[in-house]
Amino acid sequence: MKILLKRLKLILPICLLLIGCSKERLLDDQSSNERSPNAELIKSAPSKATKASNLKQIGSGVMMQAFYWDVPAGGNWWNTLSGKVQNWSNAGIDAIWLPPVAKAQNGPFSMGYDPFDYFDFGKYNQMGSVETRFGSEDELTSLITSAHNAQLSVIADIVINHNSGGQNEVNPVNGQSNWTKFTPLSGKFNRDYNDFHPNHNHGSDSGIFGGFPDLCHHQVRVQNELWKNSESVAKYYKNVMGFDGWRFDYVKGFEPWVVKDWKNEVGGFAVGEYWDGNAATLDWWTGQAEVSAFDFACYYKMRDAFEGNNLNKLNEDMLWKRNGTKAVTFVANHDTDEIFNGKMLAYAYILTHEGYPTIFYRDYEEWLDKERLNNLIWIHNNLAGGSTSILYTDDNEYVAKRNGHNNAGLVVYINNADSWQERWVETNWSNTVIKDYTGHSGWQPMTQSGNWVKIQVPPKSYTVWAPK
How far apart CA 52 and CA 213 sit, in angstroms, is 38
User: By C-alpha distance, which of 409, 442, 438, 439 is closest to 425?
Assistant: 409
Residues whose CB falls within 8 Å of the CB of residue 47, separated by 6 or more in sequence, listed in order: 239, 240, 242
Catalytic residue selected from 114, 117, 273, 295:
273
The number of angstroms, rounded, from the C-alpha of 38 to the middle of its chain's C-alpha atoms is 26
What is the rounded CA–CA span in Å between residue 404 and residue 384? 7
The answer to whether the beta carbons of residues 411 and 464 sit under 8 Å apart is: yes
CA neighbor of 228 nearest in space, from 7, 453, 38, 423:
38
Please tell me the distance from the alpha carbon of residue 227 to that of residue 199, in angstroms, as a whole number: 20
C-alpha distances out from residue 387 to 148, 244, 353, 405, 444, Å: 31, 28, 9, 8, 25
Q: Given the DSSP bridges, would you call strands 153-158 and 93-97 parallel, antiparallel or unpaired?
A: parallel
Cα distances (Å, whole numbers) of residue 461 to 289, 431, 444, 456, 458? 38, 27, 18, 10, 5
What is d(CA 114, CA 161) in angstroms, rounded to the nearest whole number?
A: 10
β pairing state of 103-104 and 115-117: antiparallel
Q: Tell me the C-alpha distance between 436 and 138, whole Å.
A: 46
Residues 6+ apart with CB under 8 A from 143: 78, 79, 81, 82, 85, 98, 154
Distance CA 190, CA 200 (A): 18
End-to-end CA distance of the chain: 43
CA dihedral for 107, 42, 262, 320, sign (positive or negative)? negative
195 in catalytic set: no
The radius of gyration of the chain's CA atoms, rounded to the nearest angstrom, is 23
List 249, 265, 304, 436, catalytic entry:
249
Residue 396, annotated as binding a ligand? no
* 175 burial via Cβ count (<10 Å: 0-12, 13-18, 19+): exposed
- Is 249 assigned a catalytic role? yes
Q: How far apart are CA 86 and CA 103, in angstroms?
A: 27
Contact status, residue 178 vs residue 168, Cβ threshold 8 Å: yes
Least Cα distance to 137 among 8, 245, 237, 204 occurs for 237
Annotation: binding site: 161
By annotation, the residues acting in catalysis are 249, 273
